[in-house]
Structure 1
Amino acid sequence: MKLVIGNKNYSSWSLRPWLLMSHAGIPFEEVPVRLFTPGFAEEIGRYAPANKVPALIDGDILVWDSLAVVEYLAERFPDRQLWPQDPAARAFARSICAEMHAGFGNLRSQMPMNLSAMLPGMGWNVAVQRDIDRIVQLWQQARERFGQAGPFLFGAFSIADAYYAPVVCRFATYGVHLPEPAKAYADLVLELPALQRWIAAAREERDFLAPDEPYRVAPDRDDAVVVHH
């Protein structure tokens, strides 16, 4: 298997399947492509018809879009139990992943993922806080209803935790204040060895945007990225 990903510092959509596969012990080869470069469109076009990362290559099977990728992995590796086994929990997990996939535009645009920066308070506004409050509510509901068997959203680590890991990273970068249960969950995710490896690699990239271009549209699925000076 090959997983095509963008810059680790910026590409939250690439992080989701990468973290899922790494934490679950699914072997894969990493194929990095550099966002924001003149050759990006040509390079990613060799792998993904939508010209966006991530994309998964499994022999002659190509899967693109992060939600399609994780669904494919759940079918391909049923023994890893990547979705919760209980039908009600699985339905809730799928729903909150879909909400993450399609929503939270204010948080995405104002607090884009930037793992090499510390920007406390930057990007906050009332609309962003509404997104933060909704995410905290979803985490609380998942933990209270389905999380009794372990420390993650649905007890055991699942696709839902991988899907919200980039949000956890954003909260750390921008110093978002969280209520204690949400903070404990965010700290748990940040301490995952696989996520720590991704963050360390992101900080080694030193592949920042030009100083005269503080915001640019990202060709993965996020709305913008912010320069680290």
Structure 2
Amino acid sequence: MTAAITLIIGNKAYSSWSLRPWLALKQAGQVFEETLIPLRQPDTRARIGAVSPSGTVPVLIDRGVGGEPVVVWDSLAVCEYVAERFPEARLWPDDIRARAAARSVAAEMHAGFVPLRTHMSMNLKERLPGTGRTPEVEANIGRIVTLWTDARTRFGQGGDFLFGRFSIADAMFAPVVTRFETYGVDLPPVARAYADAVLALPAMQEWTAAALAEPWTL
């Protein structure tokens, strides 16, 4: 039987934006089809352009709502759609204060941290300790550690994630956790424990194993 939802993604080793909604769907317990379009190939632009209004991945296509399929692009928009489509997954915190904070940190990750993205890009295939540590990147790392520590201290009771149980905020920061592993970033205890919790997720381990098995090296 064909799954109602298809998620179109880029390389698992490198596509941080693809990981986010993939992880949200997995943590929501949903069965979905996965279509991987390798990045930086001669036909990449044409293949993505055929399915994505923005010309980027990820893209979610939902044929299970009746009528025309729903098409959602952009990582945060896809995560929001998954939360709305499957409210029983509780992908945002229940408490209004925690939910406001979770949305704020998710949006900050979505919109910011350009130096980190530029100099410490997601790469699950290598270990590059010390690489990319510009002053701007160091400032980004400091801000992320502050965000994680504040969320865990204020709202993290009842679970190992930023707001206790897994939320979209964790999906947004999961690629950052992998970056800190790749580039050997030392973390203080609260942030280290949080990063370890993300890495221990079965879905994260599944993604990582698939990434390491990919034939492409960019």
TM-score calculated relative to the size of structure 2: 0.94
- Given candidates 177, 188, 203, the residue that maps to 1:194 is 203
Unaligned residue ranges in structure 1 (runs of 5+) = 210-229
The one-letter code sitting in structure 1 at the alignment partner of 2:170 is D
| Cα-to-partner distance string for 1:81-106 (whole Å, 9 max, x where unaligned) | 01111111111101101100010001
- Tell me the number of residue pairs that the alignment of Structure 1 and Structure 2 aligns: 209
Which residue does 1:221 correspond to in 2? none
Counterpart CA distance in 2 for 1:73 and 1:189 is 19
The one-letter code sitting in structure 2 at the alignment partner of 1:25 is G
Report the Cα offset of residue 36 of structure 1.
Answer: 0.2
Once the two structures are aligned, what percentage of the paired residues are identical?
59
- Given candidates 38, 53, 57, the residue that maps to 1:34 is 38
The one-letter code sitting in structure 2 at the alignment partner of 1:10 is Y
Which residue does 1:21 correspond to in 2? 25
| Cα-to-partner distance string for 1:92-147 (whole Å, 9 max, x where unaligned) | 10110110001000100000000010001011121101000000100111111111
Report the Cα offset of residue 23 of structure 1.
Answer: 2.1
Which residue does 1:139 correspond to in 2? 148
Report the Cα offset of residue 180 of structure 1.
Answer: 1.1
- Given candidates 166, 175, 180, the residue that maps to 2:189 is 180
SS in 1 for 2:145: helix
Counterpart CA distance in 1 for 2:24 and 2:81 is 12
TM-score calculated relative to the size of structure 1: 0.90
Which residue does 2:66 correspond to in 1? none
Counterpart CA distance in 1 for 2:73 and 2:173 is 19
CA contact (8 A) 2:129 2:183 kept: yes
Counterpart CA distance in 2 for 1:5 and 1:156 is 25
Moved over 2 A (4+): none
Q: Considering Cα pairs closer than 8 Å and 6+ residues apart, tell me whether 1 or 2 has the greater RCO.
A: 1
SS in 2 for 1:116: coil
Which residue does 1:67 correspond to in 2? 76
SS in 1 for 2:60: strand
- Given candidates 88, 94, 107, the residue that maps to 2:97 is 88
Report the Cα offset of residue 206 of structure 1.
Answer: 2.9
Unaligned residue ranges in structure 2 (runs of 5+) = 64-68
- Given candidates 4, 15, 23, the residue that maps to 1:11 is 15
The answer as to 2:59 corresponding to 1:55 is yes
The one-letter code sitting in structure 1 at the alignment partner of 2:37 is V
Report the Cα offset of residue 24 of structure 1.
Answer: 2.1
| Cα-to-partner distance string for 1:157-194 (whole Å, 9 max, x where unaligned) | 11111110000000000000111110111011111111
SS in 2 for 1:129: helix
Report the Cα offset of residue 26 of structure 1.
Answer: 1.1
Which residue does 1:206 correspond to in 2? 215
